[in-house]
Amino acid sequence: MSAMQFGIFSVSDITEDPTTKTTVSEAQRIKDLLTIAVHAEEVGLDVFALGEHHNPPFFSSSPTTTLAWIAARTERLILSTATTLITTNDPVKIAEDFAMLQHVADGRVDLTLGRGNTGPVYPWFGKDIRQGLDLAVENYALLRKLWDEDVVDWQGRFRTPLQGFTATPRPLDGVAPFVWHGSIRTPEIAEQAAFYGDGFFANNIFWPKEHYQRLIELYRQRFEHYGHGTAQQAIVGLGGQVFMRANAQDAVKEFRPYFDNAPVYGHGPSLEQFSEMTPLTVGSPQQVIDRYAGMRDFYGDYQRQLFLIDHAGLPVKTVLEQLDLLGGEVVPVLRKELDTNRPADVPDAPTHAARVAAKFGDGPVRQAVPNANRGDNLAGDRPYRDTPAPAGASFGAAATRTGA
């Protein structure tokens, strides 16, 4: 793995192909997406990330199920999300699902947290969108605790309290998945990423670069402020959007109907205006290389670049061709260009292996071995052989039952 990771991210939309007026079934689109993900590894990409939605015309309600299948069919690909809803999901379930995915995927897992942009999801899951930020802050604090501590006592505003709870399985090798925090407009989320020393991901699709520049610059400064390293050592991921053909005019001609009818920005600005204002690049592979090789001039040296290539009703055959171009012509050159003059103290993109090495060095890596079932299907207040003794263990009911 090189200093930077390249990959694709999908929002899992099922959109009519405006050129043929046909729409694939959920079953077909899901199979197509799996094909696309496996092909991402075949062409040499590093990351496949999947969004989360809970309404048609999207299918991806259960990303870890999907990613687990992909993990079984690949060997190197890092499975990630774009994004996982930290507001409406139960943080306990996130902790469990992603630790589980880590184990089946041999650590090739990280995740990006977001608040979601579909209003009704909040009430559907019993939440209030006006508390979106508060939910993101509290739920993530709990998620961290569930991964970092074997036994959690916790009480908050949004979830039923936990007493003596252990999220299983424990993170693979004692190292939780790396977390990116995604935001397109909220400085508090950049602050949150900086506070924890986590990564910050800017989707870099819908807004002019100046907007993301301010968010990323804030994140970098605050990363340094909270003592995780220098500003240029903060961990930044960017999205992007491309469509390529060998001949630039062919790319524009072919992509235009998909752009013009795209649910998110269709019937608005022209393809040319949107390409000028945002990182959307429609043209030759060389044009894509030139545009994205320049990203670090705006955002600083960064760790991850993901491309959106499978949306707006593009046929799976076309998407696979885009992957061939990305893997064959674009990414190898970008890897080289973005490696040139990269300062030595800018960290490489996070991987499980590197994070395990950073935590344990040459020493033994944590292997969580549970203590025996006491007979009530619980393993006591020290659920694993190496669980530290709880603070204040000599008090309360738990103390009297130790070793029971």
Partner 1 sequence: MTERRIAVVSAGLSNPSSTRMLADRLAAATVRELAGEGIPAQVDVIELRDLAHDITNMMLTGFAPPALETAINTVVSADGLIAVTPIFSTSYSGLFKSFIDVLDPEALTGMPVLIGANAGTARHSLAIDYAIRPLFTYLHAEPVPTGVFAASSDWGGAADAVAPLSSRVDRGARELAAAIARRPVAAAADPFDPAVFLGEGRSFGHLLGGLADE
Residues in contact with partner 1 by CB under 8 A are: 137-138, 141, 187-188, 191-192, 194-195, 206-208, 211, 214-215, 217-218, 222, 226, 264-269, 273-274, 277
Nearer to partner 1, 69 or 226 (CB): 226
Q: Smallest distance from the beta carbon of 7 to partner 1, in angstroms?
A: 25
User: What is the four-CA torsion angle of 194, 139, 204, 110, rounded to 10 degrees?
Assistant: 80
Nearer to partner 1, 84 or 204 (CB): 204
Distance of CA 161 to the CA centre of its chain: 27
Phi, psi of 93 (to 5 degrees): -70, -35
Nearer to partner 1, 268 or 328 (CB): 268
Nearer to partner 1, 192 or 305 (CB): 192
Q: Smallest distance from the beta carbon of 139 to partner 1, in angstroms?
A: 12
Closest CA to 71 of 41, 45, 94: 41
Nearer to partner 1, 94 or 109 (CB): 94
Nearer to partner 1, 120 or 268 (CB): 268
Neighbouring residues of 131: CB distance < 8 A, sequence distance ≥ 6: 158
Nearer to partner 1, 125 or 195 (CB): 195
Q: Smallest distance from the beta carbon of 277 to partner 1, in angstroms?
A: 6
Q: Smallest distance from the beta carbon of 137 to partner 1, in angstroms?
A: 5
Asked if residue 288 lies in contact with residue 244, where contact means CB atoms within 8 angstroms, the answer is yes
Q: Smallest distance from the beta carbon of 198 to partner 1, in angstroms?
A: 12
- Cβ count near 74 (within 10 Å): 18
Neighbouring residues of 240: CB distance < 8 A, sequence distance ≥ 6: 204, 205, 279, 281, 292, 295, 305, 306, 307, 308
Q: Smallest distance from the beta carbon of 188 to partner 1, in angstroms?
A: 6
State the Cα–Cα distance between residues 79 and 304, nearest whole angstrom. 13
Closest CA to 107 of 176, 196, 37: 176
* Joined tokens for residue 8: 């694709």
Q: How many residues does the chain have?
A: 404
Q: Smallest distance from the beta carbon of 215 to partner 1, in angstroms?
A: 7
Q: Biggest alpha carbon distance in the chain?
A: 76
Q: Smallest distance from the beta carbon of 149 to partner 1, in angstroms?
A: 16
Phi, psi of 42 (to 5 degrees): -60, -35
- Tell me how far apart the terminal alpha carbons of the chain are, to the nearest angstrom: 48
Distance of CA 217 to the CA centre of its chain: 20
Asked if residue 22 lies in contact with residue 307, where contact means CB atoms within 8 angstroms, the answer is no
Nearer to partner 1, 37 or 121 (CB): 121
